[in-house]
């Protein structure tokens, strides 16, 4: 005898298969999620405890600060004699520069402008010569021992024997 297949039987077995298929799919997704989240995990490096050896701390350096305002002055010298190495001209330049620094103060930065109407090479040579004299002055005068020089500069004036100088002094500590 043949058994008749009823619609309810088909529907029931199909529902049962779909349920198992859904459960299998959920299991596969759970395994993929678990595998993806455990692949990149590395154990933390071991902690090494090192006892620091005491080192003597260096004495703190006091940082010098320049004043924001500069002092500008002009000195007069025979620049031709200065460039030819005349000692009297060199001494005159050093004396004029040191007399324009207030007593008890130190120069931090100096800017020298050689004078030439065309701002040619001569003005820069005068400026470079004055920088050399300031370094020499720093060997004997404490006010100039930490001075920094700027570029060779030019002032386009007609009086070639006038040299303009800007100095920045170190700031004084509040008393």
Number of independent structural domains in the chain: 2
Mean pLDDT (whole number) for 70-96:
94
Residue 57 lies in a domain: no
- Angle (CA) 81-85-88 rounded to 5° is 65
Find the domain containing 140 and state its range: 71-169
Residue 58 lies in a domain: no
Over the stretch 22-53, which tens digit does the pLDDT of each residue have? 788 888 888 888 777 776 666 777 877 777 77
Minimum mean pLDDT range among 17-21, 77-81, 116-120, 151-155: 17-21
- Both 103 and 157 in one domain: the answer is yes
Domain CATH number, residue 80:
3.30.1180
pLDDT recorded at residue 31: 86
What's the rounded Cα separation, in Å, for the pair 170 and 67?
6
Whether 109 contacts 150, CB under 8 Å: yes
Confidence at 174, pLDDT banded by 50, 70, 90:
low
pLDDT recorded at residue 161: 93
- Both 75 and 160 in one domain: the answer is yes
Over the stretch 96-148, which tens digit does the pLDDT of each residue have? 999 999 988 999 999 999 988 888 899 999 999 999 999 999 999 999 999 98
Residue 63 lies in a domain: no
SS3 92: helix
Residue 60 lies in a domain: no
- Both 80 and 26 in one domain: the answer is no
């Amino acid at each position: 005898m043949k058994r008749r297949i009823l619609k309810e039987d088909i529907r029931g077995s199909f529902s049962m298969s779909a349920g198992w298929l859904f459960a299998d799919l959920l299991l596969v997704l759970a395994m993929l999620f678990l595998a993806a989240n455990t692949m990149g995990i590395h154990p933390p490096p071991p902690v090494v405890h090192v006892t620091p050896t005491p080192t003597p701390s260096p004495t703190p350096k006091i940082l010098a600060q320049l004043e924001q305002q500069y002092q500008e002055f002009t000195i007069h010298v025979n620049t031709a004699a200065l460039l030819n190495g005349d000692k009297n001209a060199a001494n005159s330049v050093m004396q004029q520069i040191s007399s324009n620094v207030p007593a008890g103060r130190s120069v931090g930065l100096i800017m020298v402008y050689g004078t030439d109407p065309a701002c040619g090479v001569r003005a820069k040579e005068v400026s470079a010569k004055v920088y050399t004299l300031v370094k020499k002055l720093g060997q004997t005068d404490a006010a100039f021992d930490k001075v920094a020089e700027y570029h060779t500069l030019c002032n386009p004036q007609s009086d070639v024997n006038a040299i303009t100088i800007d100095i920045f002094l170190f700031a004084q500590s509040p008393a």
